[in-house]
Amino acid sequence: MYAEERQRLIVERARHDGRVEVTTLAAELDVTVETIRRDLTMLERHGQLRRVHGGAIPVERFGFEPALAHRATMLAEEKQRIATAVLAEVPEAGAILLDAGTTTGHLADLLPTDRELTVVTNGLAIAVRLADHPHINLFLIGGHVRTRTQATVGDWTRAPLAATCVDVAFMGTNGISVERGLTTPDTTEAAVKRCMMASARCVAVLADHTKFSLDHFACFGHLDEVDVVISDSGLDSTLADDLAAAGPRVVRV
């Protein structure tokens, strides 16, 4: 395979999966790790990819926030594994908060049916999933609805959160890094997410491996404010150790 063909394949894979890993590409394409690193450097110079720890992501991910329907199709298997592992963090009774998102949506589908739970959410799709659940006391927080994420945001959303106390907040994020913490492209969602974290005794972040080493425009939390980060096995083990050193327990599934 010529270098141009290999690089075109790398870009296509990155756009489809949201991220490519150096070691995985080297094994699949039967070339050295150094060759893949040179390819990624060339593609970054051409403005097609952005290098991150252990791999690269497509430049389209910067400044672009995919719609909820599109995100729901990405890494569905990994998100399902994360949601299954997160069940261990759900209390036997009490109140939890589900941030709007696709991985938290998977968790909503898996919530136990044999216990009474109060669930607070700003996600319209999540509320619809739980509306008929017989053992869930559901609170949907009102506010302005962002069409792209189907999340409620703004003053009407933040006000009730200030008077809310939950046992665990299950949070999604667009980016997570040791340097910048938790980030998202939209400032109104970031403001709501900060209120959510402040309302919880425990904060659990659900993030597939493509979210790591990414920094978006608005920061809504730091790693020392997070109790546990749950990701899939695609998360680099060295990076997982660095994250754990910054505060949270890190689980890879």
Measured CA to CA in angstroms, residue 224 lies from 20, 170, 179, 180, 251 at distances of 28, 16, 12, 11, 16
Structure token pair of residue 1: 């395979």
253 residues of the chain, pLDDT tens digit each: 889 899 989 988 887 888 899 999 999 999 999 999 999 999 988 778 888 889 998 876 665 555 555 555 567 899 999 999 999 999 999 999 999 999 999 999 999 988 899 999 999 999 999 999 999 999 999 999 998 889 999 999 999 999 999 999 999 999 999 999 999 999 999 999 999 999 999 999 999 988 888 888 899 999 999 999 999 998 989 999 999 999 999 999 9
Structure token pair of residue 50: 């952005």
Task: Give Cβ neighbours of residue 105 (< 8 Å, ≥ 6 apart).
Answer: 72, 123, 125, 126, 129
Cβ(232)–Cβ(253) below 8 Å: yes
d(CA 250, CA 53): 17
Cβ(190)–Cβ(228) below 8 Å: no
